[in-house]
Homo-oligomer: A and B are copies of this chain.
Amino acid sequence: MTTLPLEDYNIYVGDCWEAFNGFLADSHYSKVFVIVDENTEQLCLPKLKAHCPTLLEAQLIRVTAGEQHKNIESCQHIWSTMMAAKADRKALTVNLGGGVIGDMGGFCASTFKRGMDFVQVPTTLLSQVDASIGGKLGIDFADVKNSVGLFANPKAVFVLPNFLETLSARELRSGFAEIIKHALIADHRQWMSLLQEEDLQQIAWEQVIVHSLGIKQRVVEEDPFERGLRKALNFGHTIGHAVESQALHSDDPLLHGEAIAVGMVAELFLSHKVLGLPLEKVQQATDYLLTHYGRRRIDLSNPALLLSLMRNDKKNEGGKINFSLLPELGQVQVNQTCEEALILESLNFYQDSCHQPTNAR
């Protein structure tokens, strides 16, 4: 087990049941809630109960799996359950699930009676590397991702790579996109190392997760409230979030990492155009992303909608669309704005790349 000490709390990565039991024993909470969805109730909760006997008495709060349920109605269900159980502010919420449960459960805990403690037990790769640091909590509102929420830190995060065995290959790949992003914005050596990874099933996860969390930690601790530097983490997300939002209600929704992979390809192109990232580097990273994430066409029939979704991103100010772009692989510059025509060109670059033969990796 590796312990990553942050300013306000610890992240435990690996076989960390003992740390979890120690935390529970030291804390004397008046009541414990465990938020699950149908997947984590079936696949992860039995392990949690087997390793943490005090949680046998915890009260379950069930929400429906899926990003489309990360909404105010689910919050009302969570708050109602807490209220019916007469929970006080000395209760604890354990969020056992992926990003939806972590973001929404943390938001509900932080706002119930103006704030009870919560811990994150992320069960997807995405939530293990992305949602464990940064204190971003919230829900989707009016079809805009994470548009209602707040910043608050958990009391602890327990990352159990064993839970990754419960994921489909597709979900695992989705989470891997954030690991790729962390390398691309901040660590060229890690990027070269990821290029060698052929098979996600064979990765030594504890080590890769700890490394990726370390990158995010450095960025977030310099800018906890996303005033500046932290926008570095937004690489791939301005376009990725818009593509994800557009696909949310389609027949074929994208997983977050899949959308971010699309966004990273388009924003690699923007990085070339705006900051002079060498074209062969764009091509190298694009080939890698397309190989891992498939050549999935995106719907470009309504570019005005996509641009409008980008304009609604939280990082924007004064109506301009804000990007974090790469002058080199492993480096990032925040607060880059692009003309709409260039943004559309970058989406076409993605679409065209899907038709090109991939260069040998």
Which residues of A are in contact with B by a Cβ distance under 8 Å?
A: 30, 72, 76, 79-80, 83-84, 86, 88-90, 110-115, 136-138, 141-142, 144, 146-151, 225-226, 311-312, 314, 316-319
A146 neighbours in B (Cβ, 8 Å): 114
Given contacts A79-B142, A147-B79, A147-B83, A316 and B88 within 8 Å (CB-CB): yes
A114 touches B72 (CB 8 A): no
The distance in angstroms between the C-alpha atoms of A76 and B147, with both chains bound, is 12
B317 touches A30 (CB 8 A): yes
A312 neighbours in B (Cβ, 8 Å): 83, 86
A225 neighbours in B (Cβ, 8 Å): 115
For residue A139, which residue of chain B has the nearest CB? B111
A114 touches B142 (CB 8 A): no
B149 touches A111 (CB 8 A): yes
Interface of A is mostly: mixed
Chain B min CB distance to A4 (Å): 23
B148 touches A317 (CB 8 A): no
Which among B76, B83, B110, B318 is the interface contact of A150 at CB below 8 angstroms?
B110
* Nearest 6 Cβ contacts at the A-B interface: A113-B314, A83-B142, A114-B149, A30-B318, A90-B317, A111-B148
The distance in angstroms between the C-alpha atoms of A150 and B150, with both chains bound, is 9
A147 neighbours in B (Cβ, 8 Å): 79, 83, 112-113
B317 touches A141 (CB 8 A): no
Which among B76, B88, B314 is the interface contact of A72 at CB below 8 angstroms?
B76
A318 neighbours in B (Cβ, 8 Å): 30, 88, 90
The distance in angstroms between the C-alpha atoms of A90 and B228, with both chains bound, is 13
A226 neighbours in B (Cβ, 8 Å): 114
The distance in angstroms between the C-alpha atoms of A351 and B288, with both chains bound, is 77
B83 touches A141 (CB 8 A): yes
A141 neighbours in B (Cβ, 8 Å): 76, 79-80, 83
For residue A83, which residue of chain B has the nearest CB? B142
B311 touches A86 (CB 8 A): yes
Which among B90, B115, B151, B316 is the interface contact of A114 at CB below 8 angstroms?
B151
A142 touches B88 (CB 8 A): no
A136 neighbours in B (Cβ, 8 Å): 114
A111 touches B138 (CB 8 A): yes
For residue A89, which residue of chain B has the nearest CB? B314
Q: Which of A90, A113, A316 has its CB near the most chain B CB atoms (within 10 A)?
A: A113
Given contacts A90-B318, A318-B90, A151 and B115 within 8 Å (CB-CB): yes
For residue A144, which residue of chain B has the nearest CB? B83
A72 neighbours in B (Cβ, 8 Å): 72, 76
The distance in angstroms between the C-alpha atoms of A151 and B116, with both chains bound, is 12
For residue A114, which residue of chain B has the nearest CB? B149
A114 touches B86 (CB 8 A): no
The distance in angstroms between the C-alpha atoms of A83 and B72, with both chains bound, is 15
